[in-house]
Amino acid sequence: MGLYLDTKNATFRKHPKSKLPRSTCSFSIFLIVFLFHLPNTTSSITFSPPDNYLIDCGSPEQTRLSDGRNFKSERDTASLLSTENDVQASVEFSSIATAAKASASSFSSSTANDSIVPPSSLPLYTTVRIFPQQSTYSFHISQPGPHWVRLFFYPVPDPTHNLTAAVFKVFAGDFVLLDDFSATTFAFREFLVNITGDRFSLIFKPKKKTVAFVNAIEVVSAPYTLISDSVSAVFPPGQSVAGAWGRALRVSYRLNVGGPTLVPENDTLYRVWQTDATFNAFKEGSRNVSVPPETVEYQESKGLTPLIAPRMVYSSAQEMENSLTMEPNFNLTWIFNVDQGYSYLIRLHFCDIVSAALNTLYFNVYVNEIMAMESVDLSSLTGALSTAYYKDFVLHSMNITNNKIMVQVGCNSNFHSGIRDAILNGLEIMKMSNSANSLDGLFTVSGKYKGPNSGPKTMKIVAAGLAMAVAATVMLCVACIRWRKKPKSWEKRKSFSSWLLPLQSSYSRSSTTSSRRSALSLFGSRRSKSGYSSYISSSVVLFGKVFTLAELQAATQSFAEKAVIGVGGFGKVYLGVLEDGTKLAVKRGNPSSEQGINEFRTEIEMLSKLRHRHLVSLIGFCDEQSEMILVYEYMSNGPFRDHLYGSNLSKLSWKQRLEICIGAARGLHYLHTGAAQGIIHRDVKTTNILLDENFVSKVADFGLSKTAPSLDQTHVSTAVKGSFGYLDPEYFRRQQLTEKSDVYSFGVVLFEALCARPVIDPKLPREQVSLAEWAMHWHRKGSIETIIDPFIARQISSASLKKFVEAAEKCMAEYGVDRPSIGDVLWNLEYSLQLHEAAVVEEGDIKGQSLIFMEKKVSNGQSKMQSVIDDFEDVSEDHSSVTVAGSDGHIPMFSQMGNFQGR
């Protein structure tokens, strides 16, 4: 295309690569303006739904919406409803319509995890059907297949019932659509359900002592071609997920990327498309671009028609702002809040409306930092420009952490010709029902609990685990019999208790009964109500306090919100205080999270084997009444990050920051080398480095940790997990995890400690967004002091700074083989601390003087600072290695001071 509409500046612009003469451009502008004023047209392909139930609940007459649809009245649909003691409530249209119109502006900007309310549907919210008891709508299905189920909720004022306090469930056939749902304002929920029979039931079941209600209902046929039954997985790459129609889908997000909100009258299937502005994580790095909708083409022979998405979706996009000067590693990013424990169907819509010629635009697509599509060339996929294309993926629940889905598009750095750009036109995210056939909560239609791990496959795993537990118990009994035949001296040395590693010495006084109960639970001999014990490997030997739920409720004031001190993908962390005044950190898992169960198991398995001054200690756990709770020592000064930026806490001195980094490095060094088989943390960041009352740092959160590769392996192949900004790029590209992935993340932590700013800050200019890239840029220029935290700038000696930055720079080498071990990094940090302390002693701790730039000359022309450095270099020449804390106790020095030059 020669021209495109720059919606940010409300003007038409000539594409940089266009060779159209100015006169042609002027004529084109006139033509485009003319086309924009033509009526909105669609393809010749239309869809007439065989089943089309539209009900305005509680209304005495039919309601016609501005989009042309007619919703039938209660009188016309009374035969569909079977209920007892139903109550109809309605209010005057004018009074509620006024309230609705006043709230209409909030619809288009809604950021809730559901579809927005289209303003054209406001008349449907003026009446309501109330259900004091379970009630059922029964529909005759003339053509089985996929059907839209759309529900409208608004708590219309009623003299008898307070609908804002209503709590209820909604079932659709065998699926749970809503569980313990309530609505205090306008709400709209949209589902896609595959109906296999000729009858379909929609059930409303109020919670005890409350009622259920609904304002309007749609049950409408959808095209068979809308969703494929087999969809590719984001990870593992190439894996197909079959049986998509065996699940129900809930529309979580549907975006018209780069374009305006589209209401039902603009869509072929009466869908609503939000603008992407709320979810765009880096607006400054993107710009809207659009063309006339009439220029978009569909390849109907391949099944791609306007029923997939209307032309107005494909005619707008987000592209990279100033793409020619863009950093090659920069991506356009959209972030969405989702529910943990569910898989999601993600549909990406593309249409190349920015290229002037074929095969000139190549870009990559990432979902949660996993490569989903590489070197995408839309013109090769479609054979033409301005041609619609879409791609579906399933993101498994195991690849979702922190309740987030992140979609990114970015340049492919392997292609050095063509447009350095990336685009996205539309995006749909749909939650998939879990193994309990639920889209909300963990209960089946019968009301019985069926957690996310209750499927047949999981039951087989549990059965296998129980079998292993029985075998372990038998072996334990045999061992006990043999022990009795040994001399007492041997019995003392090899007692059962000596096999168990105490979790916390201060709690070794736990009663014998409690201790045995803890050990037996891990061998599968005690079955908790939740069944979570079966998830803990029988090989784990754990001896610690088993807390009762009542104890932890008392300690946390019944898990009060005011006691929350942190929130993560596993769940919330509470401050607990025991009767004796001992403070605890109580991490309460979210029972609906499959990832949480995995983290619960991993934390126990990892921390039960580890004991180090710079690792947060696990004190005990609780698994009563469907709970997953881990109890840790309390770190009163919280995360390292909170003392660097983003809070009102007092700033840390340079020496304190060095000591904290050294402590964290010691903890990581122990992980990598101190255990029988090394452990890779996989989520090293400043929020996972906690500080106690004396500012001693300890590494925390082992939910993502992995056992390191054995001697005959070079890496561990695993799904990419970690935190954006800290993630090792080599691990991200190859899905091959090594200890050097932790080293890279720790390098980012070092720069974060030095510069006191977020590792990713989309509010900054593009070249400054990534701390890692920004710091390396100034390091290469030899001017790293330009971006360090002003608070510590006058405290750091130049020698200490150089050694510190040298360590950070080496950590962030592109390839893992070029990075030092964490032990080498530790040596350099300790050396940096020694240089700092020596410089302070030499120059004096004089307030207001900058040690970085201060060099007092002495009589021989040498600076005192240089003399200090020379003294340390003399020591280094005599000792090529030093001893540090760790299992091997001996770590080679990976660099000498030498002349420090920015590279």
The helix or strand, by DSSP H or E, that contains position 25, with its residue range, turns out to be helix 22-36
- Taking residue 637's Cβ as centre, other Cβ atoms within 10 Å add up to 18
How would DSSP label each residue in 516-528?
HHHHHHHTT-S--
Burial (CB count <10 Å: 0-12, 13-18, 19+), residue 120: middle
Pairing state between β 249-256 and 426-432: antiparallel
**Interatomic CA distance for residues 125 and 138, integer angstroms:** 22
The pLDDT of residue 737: 84
Domains of the chain by range and CATH?
3-38+227-432 (2.60.120.430), 52-222 (2.60.120.430), 456-633 (3.30.200.20), 640-892 (1.10.510.10)
Report how far apart, in Å, the C-alpha atoms of 824 and of each of 700, 828, 857, 893 are.
22, 6, 33, 6
Beta carbons of 202 and 136 less than 8 angstroms apart: yes
Per DSSP, the three-state class of 335 is strand
pLDDT at 652: 94
Are 741 and 758 within 8 A, CB to CB?
A: no
Number of DSSP helices (H) and strands (E) in the chain, helices first: 18, 46
Spatial CA neighbour of 807 closest among 833, 768, 838, 841? 833
**Residue 693 DSSP SS3:** coil
Please tell me the predicted confidence (pLDDT) of residue 507: 33
C-alpha 481: how far from chain center: 51
- pLDDT confidence of residue 525: 32
The answer to whether the peptide bond before residue 144 is cis (omega within 30 degrees of 0) is no
The amino acid at 352: D
Annotated catalytic residue 683: yes
CA distances from 19 to 1, 14, 73, 337 (A): 10, 9, 59, 43
Contact 338, 407 (CB under 8 A): no
Residue recorded with tokens 């083989």: 817
Contact 152, 124 (CB under 8 A): yes
The dihedrals phi and psi of 901, each to the nearest 5 degrees, come to -125, 135
pLDDT along the chain (903 residues), means of 10: 41 42 41 39 68 94 92 89 58 36 37 59 91 94 95 91 94 93 92 94 94 96 90 84 82 96 92 93 89 94 92 95 56 92 95 92 91 91 95 91 90 65 95 91 50 44 52 53 39 25 32 34 34 34 70 90 80 87 86 59 68 86 82 91 89 95 94 80 92 93 73 56 83 82 95 93 84 90 88 90 94 92 94 91 51 39 37 34 34 31 28
Residue with tokens 């000792």: 879
Phi, psi of 803 (to 5 degrees): -65, -40
What is the H or E stretch that residue 275 is in?
strand 274-275
pTM over 0.75? The answer is no
Q: Is the peptide bond before 206 cis (omega within 30 degrees of 0)?
A: no
C-alpha–C-alpha distance, residues 525 and 477, integer Å: 13
Rounded-to-integer distance, Cα 177 and Cα 441, Å: 9
CA distance 887 to 879: 20
Burial (CB count <10 Å: 0-12, 13-18, 19+), residue 42: middle
Token pair listed for 387: 């041609």
**From 51, 421, 683, 824, the catalytic residue:** 683
Helices (H), 179-251: none
83: closest CA among 134, 151, 139?
134
Only one residue has tokens 């126990």, namely 604
What one-letter code names the amino acid at 479? Answer: A
Q: Classify strands 423-424 and 316-320 as parallel, antiparallel or unpaired.
A: antiparallel
Residue pointed to by tokens 């095969």: 359
Helix (H) / strand (E) element for 287: namely strand 286-290
pLDDT at 855: 39
